[in-house]
A and B are shown apart, each in its own frame.
Chain A
């Protein structure tokens, strides 16, 4: 059964980042933008986990936490505070109230997931459960090398789709003892932030599974990648053949 996670934050952007962090896992996200809405959602949904901001309008996170802990039906729901406030007294005060963990913004989605995993087991979403995850759509195989071919335009939805597909593919590669992947962006027509993030997340995902990655890009794209800090030092090859030789 999917874990129900309630994220309470007045920033839609933060709720979106939290939601995205949980996307690979078998979780259902419920959102609220202040303490009052959060309490109502907690009562209605009985989540298995609450990610709670402090500074919010209407009712702040500390008051919501007090009310949760005073409610016999809700007091045992684990709460992780996710807040910009990291003062020692603040942290001590919150911890005394019974939160399970305390995470300070700025934060990365993967760091939040690491904290959650210390409290609760997170089951990865099965590939067939996710409509976006269609392993094979972007993948081909040459000998023992898997090729991930990026589409002409990489937008945010495409990034999400490919990240989901890659997760399933990496698992499949592990089972088949395949350890080489070529990331082919030669057909991409526009170098944008979504593309950069996708390249980085793909490389990181492969590295976690000890899969070697070679990037194929046109010379123009290679120059464009140098303009982004995250990809400025990435070695680039200019054809599949060159990438194969580089392994």
Chain B
């Protein structure tokens, strides 16, 4: 795996998620057992995805309920949840959070000798859908929670060589 297996992906990403939520949303998240997608997918949910490609390839998926995504949006732009505008605003915030986590991971991969580029975020939103990522060498699933909500972050990585 050309050294990819030695990287502490889980540690990188866990710190990154907590840092982004704390700094941008003034929201504390604790690590938790990764929630099942079914739990998060009870009702409308939203998935932010960024990919990276170069000597390593991979993607980062952030799964949250739509309700949590609205609270994240409210916190990031400094309004009450009921003041959050349309879904575009919510998608923008989830995409940007995902971009920050993915950007940090990409930077750490580059620093570890795996140069790669980052994609712009994509958003998937709806009910009863699944996102499958196949053919990866490493997969990490991390759970986070606060007093009201849970989030799931998945990281997939493989060497392109």
Q: Which residues of A contact B (CB under 8 A)?
A: 10-14, 16-17, 20, 55-57, 83-90, 105-108, 155-156, 159, 190, 192-194, 196-197, 227, 229-230
Contacts and interface: CB of A to CB of B under 8 A. Distances in A.
B89 A106 contact: no
B74 interface: yes
Interface residues of B, number: 40
Contact of A108 (B23, B27, B108): B23
A194 B20 CA distance: 19
B89 A84 contact: no
B78 A90 contact: no
Interface string B15-52: 00001101110111000000000000000000000000
A34 to B, nearest CB: 10
Interface string B75-98: 111111101000011001101100
Interface of B: 19-20, 22-24, 26-28, 73-81, 83, 88-89, 92-93, 95-96, 99-100, 102-104, 106-111, 115, 118-120, 147
A7 B76 CA distance: 18
Given A155-B79, A194-B78, A229-B26, A13 B120 contact: no
A233 to B, nearest CB: 13
Contact of A105 (B73, B89, B93, B103): B103
Contacts, number: 100
B78 A86 contact: no
B35 to A, nearest CB: 21
A13 B97 CA distance: 11
B102 A11 contact: no
B74 A193 contact: yes
Contacts of B110: 87-90
A85 B103 contact: yes
6 contacts: A12-B88, A12-B92, A55-B119, A55-B120, A86-B103, A87-B109
Contacts of B20: 105-106
B127 to A, nearest CB: 24
Nearest to A56: B120
